[in-house]
Chains A and B, each alone.
Chain A
Amino acid sequence: GDSVTQTEGQVALSEEDFLTIHCNYSASGYPALFWYVQYPGEGPQFLFRASRDKEKGSSRGFEATYDKGTTSFHLRKASVQESDSAVYYCALGEAGYQNFYFGKGTSLTVIP
């Protein structure tokens, strides 16, 4: 079945560090890929998505590129801020299947 794997469970960085959170997926079809962010006490919020190979999604300085060859959608940000501290979820959704598959989440802590 479809699945999403996030390599890092927890990441701790200093402000202005470069962020990479790895996301790999497994799907039978050609899914759309998403990143969501969850702040304490809130539900996950949509960050951005990409729907086809080589498409780049981006928002709030975060970006990820859909790579069908390596089945990856890694989240990157050039310079993190303390306000970026949150849990980040990679997800996939397949057209025709009314379901989304979420990774286990990566908790990012940015130290000022």
Chain B
Amino acid sequence: EAAVTQSPRSKVAVTGGKVTLSCHQTNNHDYMYWYRQDTGHGLRLIHYSYVADSTEKGDIPDGYKASRPSQENFSLILELASLSQTAVYFCASSDLDSHTEVFFGKGTRLTVV
């Protein structure tokens, strides 16, 4: 079965600190995504990638970087974490193009204090 695994599942970070969220997929999918979920805003796209060693900005990329070192792995990096980045983050993968299903991980709850 298709699988997207995120780590850690929860994290408390200090304001100004660096945070790295990791994602691993075993779906053999080309596309990977990082979404942020906030109450009242639903799911918003931060970064995505369709090939290793390349990433693209989504709708809310400010304050975030992404890295895709291989087809299976996709990281989200917060160089200087801020209070406003407290949220639940979801990694996802999909095949080919946007007419196909997206598979989500279970999410990472990030709290910045």
Whether the pair A95, B98 counts as a contact (CB closer than 8 A) is: yes
Query: A-side interface residues toward B, CB under 8 Å?
Result: 6, 9, 31-32, 34, 36, 41-46, 49, 51, 89, 93-100, 102-105
Q: Residue A43 contacts which of B41, B50, B107 (CB distance < 8 angstroms)? A: B107
Q: How far is the CA of A99 from the CA of B92 in the complex (A)?
A: 11
- Proximity string of chain B (25-57) to chain A, C-beta cutoff 8 Å, 1 when within and 0 when not: 000000101010000111111001010000010
Q: Residue A93 contacts which of B98, B104, B105 (CB distance < 8 angstroms)? A: B98
Q: Residue A104 contacts which of B41, B58, B107 (CB distance < 8 angstroms)? A: B41
On chain A, the residues within 8 Å of B43 by CB distance are: 44, 89, 102, 105
Q: Ordered nearest first, which 10 A-B pairs have the shortest CB separation? A: A93-B98, A43-B104, A104-B42, A102-B43, A32-B99, A46-B101, A105-B42, A44-B104, A102-B42, A43-B106
Interface residue total, chain B, C-beta cutoff 8 A = 27
Which chain B residues (87-105) contact chain A, with CB distance < 8 Å?
90, 92, 97-105
Whether the pair B106, A98 counts as a contact (CB closer than 8 A) is: no
